[in-house]
């Protein structure tokens, strides 16, 4: 199939348009002259298209009218303290079947490119020191969220063999920026308030991606011919240890970093007793991604430094 070049006169559908990532994508696209349709679960303004809770039977007909490119960010996100009685089925319905359903309807409506925001969790949870994840690695998701994202990717790969629509799959690691929530937000607040943190002895490396770097990469993939039918890992291109991250947050906030060197084994033991083992694993373990493919194939360079990304996240 010939590569399709999409210019900024095309009409783009962004799902999850009022979410952390989707909202920023909409703003950036509109600044660059794209025509944007915003699909949301429940609309608050006349600019949005309400689609409800997405699944295998969602009707996307109105939302897809005249669309050339879909950017699919809507998902059931990773839940640390899962309360649902059947989380596996919920993740599969929302992240796998809903994605397949949207992609099939998009292809029928003549959409040229489908950009899917997946997750590094498709690769796995941890890397060996100096052995970052690659796009070609065998997938090894460790939870229902990662498995549902992997299955959605597989459905897109199966479609492209007989479809007239191109896809792009993007697997970001932890995304941070203004409005970030969950554990990263809690860590930022702890740093801002000057709490002593028992992380001074952690010696790890983790890849992160600033929200604006991710959005810049997504926009690049809308119209770059070499992005067609490719999977990409994306990050800031500068990995940090957890202590370096805390120091960077503190510098951005203009406060001192208060790090206490508690042995990692002691942190892990205490966290396990409190049922917080997974959270400490993320703070202490390695998770690195190699973005050489994005650099070489697309010529993409993250526009924001880690320092600027943290400044934007902290100064809200």
Half-sphere exposure of 11 (CA within 13 A, CB side): 11
What pLDDT tens digit does each residue of the chain (316 aa) get? 344 444 555 899 999 999 999 999 999 999 999 999 999 999 888 889 999 999 999 999 999 999 999 999 999 986 655 555 567 899 999 999 999 999 999 999 999 999 999 999 999 999 998 899 999 999 999 999 999 999 999 999 998 877 889 999 999 999 999 999 988 999 999 999 999 999 999 999 999 999 999 999 999 999 999 999 999 999 999 999 999 999 999 999 999 999 999 999 898 888 788 777 777 888 899 999 999 999 999 999 999 999 999 999 998 7
Could you report the per-residue pLDDT of 1-17, keeping only the tens digit for each?
344 444 555 899 999 99
* Distance, CA of 71 to CA of 117 (rounded, Å): 8
CB 64 within 8 A of CB 13: yes
pLDDT digits 0-9 by tens, 140-197: 999 999 999 999 999 999 988 778 899 999 999 999 999 999 889 999 999 999 999 9
Check: CB of residue 218 under 8 Å from CB of residue 71: yes
Query: CA separation (Å) from 52 to 18, 42, 46, 94, 162?
Result: 13, 6, 15, 11, 29
Q: How far is 185 from 177, CA to CA, in rounded Å?
A: 9
**Of 92, 145, 176, 195, catalytic:** 145
Give the architecture-level CATH label for domain 11-177+208-236+288-304.
3-Layer(aba) Sandwich (3.40)
SS3 letters across 80-98:
CCCCCCCHHHHHHHHHHHH
Q: What are phi and psi for residue 287, nearest 5 degrees? A: -150, 100
- b or e along 231-268 (b: 16 or more beta carbons within 10 Å of the residue's beta carbon)? bbbbbbbebbbbbbbbbbbbbbbeeebbbeeeebeebb
CB atoms within 10 A of CB 68: 20
Q: For the chain, give the mean pLDDT.
A: 92
296 φ/ψ sector (left φ>0, alpha ψ -120 to 50, else beta)? alpha
Annotated active-site residue 116? The verdict is no
* 211-225 tens-digit pLDDT: 999 999 999 999 999
pTM: 0.93
């Amino acid at each position: 199939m010939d590569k399709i070049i999409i210019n900024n006169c095309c009409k783009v559908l962004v799902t999850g348009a009022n979410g952390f990532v989707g909202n920023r994508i909409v703003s950036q696209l509109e600044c660059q002259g794209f025509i944007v349709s915003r699909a949301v679960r429940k609309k608050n303004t006349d600019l949005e298209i309400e689609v409800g809770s997405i699944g295998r039977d969602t009707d996307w007909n109105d939302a897809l009218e005249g669309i050339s490119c879909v950017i699919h960010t809507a998902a059931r996100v990773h839940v640390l303290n899962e309360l649902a009685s059947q989380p596996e089925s919920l993740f599969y319905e929302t992240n796998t079947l809903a994605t397949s359903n949207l992609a099939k309807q998009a292809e029928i409506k003549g959409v040229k490119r489908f950009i899917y925001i997946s997750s590094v969790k498709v690769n796995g949870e941890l890397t060996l020191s100096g052995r970052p994840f690659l796009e070609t690695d065998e997938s090894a998701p460790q939870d229902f969220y990662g498995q549902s994202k992997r299955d959605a990717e597989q459905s897109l790969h199966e479609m492209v063999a007989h479809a007239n629509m191109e896809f792009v799959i993007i697997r970001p690691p932890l995304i941070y920026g203004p409005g970030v929530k969950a554990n990263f937000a809690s860590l930022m607040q702890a740093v801002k308030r000057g709490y002593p943190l028992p992380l001074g002895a952690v010696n790890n490396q983790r890849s992160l991606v600033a929200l604006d770097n991710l959005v810049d990469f997504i926009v690049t993939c809308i119209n770059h011919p070499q992005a067609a039918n490719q999977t990409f890992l994306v990050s800031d291109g500068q990995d940090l240890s957890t202590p370096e991250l805390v120091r960077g947050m503190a510098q951005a906030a203009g406060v001192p970093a208060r790090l206490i060197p508690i042995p990692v084994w002691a942190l892990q033991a205490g966290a396990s007793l409190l049922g917080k083992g997974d959270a400490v694993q993320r703070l202490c373990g390695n998770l690195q991604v190699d973005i050489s493919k994005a650099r070489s194939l697309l010529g993409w360079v993250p526009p924001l430094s880690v320092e600027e990304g943290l400044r934007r996240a902290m100064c809200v």
